[in-house]
Amino acid sequence: MDVLAAIAARRTVKAFTGAPIPRETLRALCEAAVQAPNHRLTQPWRFGVADRDSIPRLLEVLRRPAVAACVEARKLGPALERIAACGGLIQVACVLEGGEERRREDRDAAAAAVQNLLLAAVGHGLGSFWSTSPLMAHPEVLRWFGADPTSMAHIGTIWLGVPAESPPSPHRRHLDEVLHWA
């Protein structure tokens, strides 16, 4: 699949079949992520990966009262069910170093890494969901994924799997509404 086709095909998918994603594939997605552009080559991104076998342990962490309390009770159950059906998850964090300008540039680079990862997932026939839920950004969850919440920012958790649904293309503004020629 060429890159333009992957961009056009990428959708937010929140329902997965539960089929496992091989570790080699999860690694390949992270390899695509680290090819993102990065000013000053600080390479601020860090990845924590939960394969299908480790998801039950993650769910135990997410059910801890201190962690579960960071989301509305009505949202916790559905989130846990969706995570349980994932084939894998990749936690993306950004190292916090330097002044405001560097931190902004590094966060932007980490977001570009996420986009690379999402497009690589499409190329592997996977669905994905970029979550910024406080549940997944909780310090205990970050530590479980190997991130240090005192020196890293949560960029997002990428939920991955074989899609159990094919979401329609969302409405996008026409290019003429957002494009300005100088």
pLDDT digits (tens, 9 = 90+) for 39-72: 899 999 999 999 999 999 999 999 999 999 999 9
Report how far residue 58's alpha carbon sits from residue 99's, in angstroms, rounded to the nearest whole number: 33
Residue 66 lies in a domain: yes
Residue 179 lies in a domain: no
CATH number at residue 134: 3.40.109.10
Contacts of 52 (CB under 8 A, 6+ apart): 18, 19, 20, 21, 86, 87, 88
Q: Please report the pLDDT score of residue 1 as a whole number.
A: 82
Rg (CA), the chain: 17
Residue 50 lies in a domain: yes
Residue 144 lies in a domain: yes
How many domains would you assign to the chain? Answer: 1
Domain ranges, residue 19: 3-7+14-166
Q: Is the pTM of this model over 0.85?
A: yes
Residue 177 lies in a domain: no
Residue 64 lies in a domain: yes
Structure-token pair, residue 13 = 């998918």
